[in-house]
Amino acid sequence: MPPDEHGSKEDELVGLHNLPIVDTPWSWMSDHWWTHQDGPCADDEYYFVKCVGHVGVARAPVECKKLHDDFVECAYRLRTVRLQFTYCTVFVLICYS
């Protein structure tokens, strides 16, 4: 995927091109919008954002990948759904073949 007007390929992977450029009290008011801070994924999101803050946006896709994957799994359950689908498919193939 080539770089576009929003940033590099790594920025798109982590989704950091939407962060505010200037940190002001006005931007703090909207910090909790569109986040998972009140749900069960609050800790995963916190550690991922903290990691990105420490290593920077350029190194985050490599060094924070595990934290990002854990946060995405907590928020969207993609691996769990994929695993359940696999189990259901195997069950159907075994029981009904």
pLDDT digits (tens, 9 = 90+) for 24-62: 777 666 666 777 777 899 999 999 999 999 999 899 999
Rounded to two decimals, the pTM is 0.59
Decide which of 46 and 5 is more confident: 46
Neighbours of 17 (CB within 10 A): 13
Question: Does position 89 have pLDDT exceeding 80, yes or no?
Answer: yes
Question: Does position 79 have pLDDT exceeding 50, yes or no?
Answer: yes
Compute the Cα dihedral for 67, 68, 72, 75 and give only its sign.
Answer: positive
